[in-house]
């Protein structure tokens, strides 16, 4: 079954690509329970957006901790001001409260709430999630037709969340790769979709790397 969370530049279409099963994972964590982030030099967000996302993650996590303390286990991941909430809460009302807290944080544009009403995940489960994230990330790096640094990967209870500014082709390809990784039971896409033309224009705007070789500067 396929359900997808996609945000276009003009409108937000929440869509989640589910590849079977239920899940979510992670005391309060900034940037996701098991996250492999992107490199500033090749990230498709602006440098300002990257810094802003870090601030959003910190402020959101801090406010959740202040209000709910250790009663919830929440991971906060922000990409281009879209906040992904994963983890566990003891009651549905707590999940709703966490979402409202996130929506009230400065500069947050939208929130995807995938918190599970269930007991907190175990240490072994979180370690396994970190391992899966590493395998997915490595598989994206190995894919010659993708720019791995365009993706942020978060794993919660064997569920892989993919975030990034990508084309439909890239989104489908990355989803296929993640689904093929051993141990992954569902893939959730939280993408901002861009056209191939937008991607080409962004590539043209990328500044050329500055050589550190004195001989090359002569």
Phi, psi of 80 (to 5 degrees): 55, 40
Contact 50/31 with Cβ under 8 angstroms? Answer: no
Q: Supply φ then ψ for residue 39, to 5 degrees.
A: -90, 135
Question: Which pLDDT does position 17 carry in this prediction?
Answer: 41
pLDDT along the chain (218 residues), means of 10: 40 39 46 50 86 98 95 94 97 97 98 96 94 98 95 97 97 98 97 92 60 50
Residue 180 has, within 13 A of its CA and on its CB side, a CA count of 11
How many other β-carbons are positioned within 10 Å of the β-carbon of residue 55? 14
- The whole-number pLDDT of residue 169 equals 96
Say what the pTM is. Answer: 0.76
Classify burial at 41, counting beta carbons within 10 Å of its beta carbon; exposed 0-12, middle 13-18, buried 19 or more.
Answer: exposed
| Tokens linked to 71 | 């009663």
Contact status, residue 185 vs residue 159, Cβ threshold 8 Å: yes
């Amino acid at each position: 079954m396929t359900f997808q969370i996609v945000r276009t530049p003009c409108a937000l279409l929440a869509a989640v690509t589910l590849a079977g099963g239920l899940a979510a994972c992670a005391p309060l964590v900034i940037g996701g329970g098991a996250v492999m982030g992107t490199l500033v030099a090749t990230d498709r967000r602006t440098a300002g957006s990257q810094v802003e996302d870090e601030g959003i993650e910190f402020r959101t996590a801090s406010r959740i901790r202040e209000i709910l303390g250790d009663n919830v286990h929440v991971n906060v991941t922000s990409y281009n001001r879209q906040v992904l909430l994963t983890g566990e809460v003891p009651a549905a009302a707590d999940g709703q409260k966490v979402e409202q807290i996130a929506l009230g944080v400065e500069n947050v544009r939208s929130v995807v709430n995938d918190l599970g009403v269930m007991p907190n995940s175990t240490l072994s489960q979180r370690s396994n999630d970190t391992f899966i994230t590493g395998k997915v990330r490595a598989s994206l790096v190995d894919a010659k037709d993708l720019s791995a640094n365009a993706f942020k990967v978060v794993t919660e209870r064997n569920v892989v969340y993919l975030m990034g500014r990508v084309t439909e082709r890239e989104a489908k390809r990355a989803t296929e790769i993640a689904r093929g990784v051993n141990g992954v039971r569902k893939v959730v896409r939280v993408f901002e979709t861009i056209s191939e033309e937008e991607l080409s224009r962004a590539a043209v705007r990328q500044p050329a790397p500055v050589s550190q070789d004195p001989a090359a500067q002569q």
